[in-house]
Amino acid sequence: MKYCLLISAALVAALNGLLLVPATLEHAAPLATATLVLALLTALLALLTVAKGAPKMLPVVTAAPPPAPSANQAEAEVVAFFALLQEKGRFVDFLMDDVTAYDDAQVGAAARVVHQGCGAVLRDHFKITPVSDTAEGSPVTVPAGYASDEYRLLGKISGEPPFIGTLIHKGWKTEFVNLPRIIKADERRLPGIAPAEVELK
């Protein structure tokens, strides 16, 4: 799980880096979509990692405790979420394909499918809202006691909050998560993301 989290974080950093390269500005929309989805998956992996390592509470009642989840339970549920992104938005197809072989119009058409489908999955399973309601490019005040996962301060930082600056990106947070649950994961293998399709003649 730790390695999945590191790989996902590295992909988010790489995609963010691509957004800063002038040559990739034409592909900003699909890159931003992929970055958003990967950032959410990174947050999900982090939550699952924390939950997995949390100490177990002793039951108050004397009834037998529920069976412990299998080793692959959390990983299987992450794969199930990938399966939803693939089913609705062809997300895995888009990321695993070499888009350099296609022209901009083809990439843009594919990005539209990914954007619409993956956006629907996110709206169905997360309540995503901006961290700041201020318009980007406007002055904003970062309050004292701000959450470090909700604000990233850039530039010269001195003194104590509240800080006043210019909002570069409004940020995103989620107020609830409703992911697909797998009742009993197969301990021998993770579930597939999308089946291979074979046409019989």
Residue 138, H or E segment: none
Tell me: pLDDT of 10 over 90.
Answer: no
Position 150 scores a pLDDT of 93
Question: What is the model's pLDDT at position 89?
Answer: 92
Asked if omega into 162 is within 30° of 0 (cis), the reply is: yes
Q: Tally Cβ neighbours within 10 Å of residue 137.
A: 9
Considering 34-38, 66-70, 180-184, the range whose residues carry the highest mean pLDDT is 180-184
- Arithmetic mean of pLDDT, 120-149: 93
Asked if 182 contacts 75 with a C-beta cutoff of 8 angstroms, the reply is: no
> Distance between CA atoms of 111 and 24, rounded to whole angstroms?
14
pLDDT band at 181 (very low <50, low <70, confident <90, very high): confident
Q: Which pTM does this prediction carry?
A: 0.56
Alpha helix locations (H) across the chain? 2-19, 28-53, 73-89, 91-96, 104-125
Judged against a pLDDT cut of 50, whether residue 111 lies above it is answered with: yes
37 CB neighbour count, 10 Å cutoff: 23
What the block records as the tokens of 39 is 């950032």
**pLDDT band at residue 198 under the 50/70/90 scheme:** confident
What distance in Å separates the CA atoms of residue 118 and residue 115, rounded to the nearest whole number? 6
Contact between 153 and 134 under an 8 Å Cβ cutoff? The reply is no
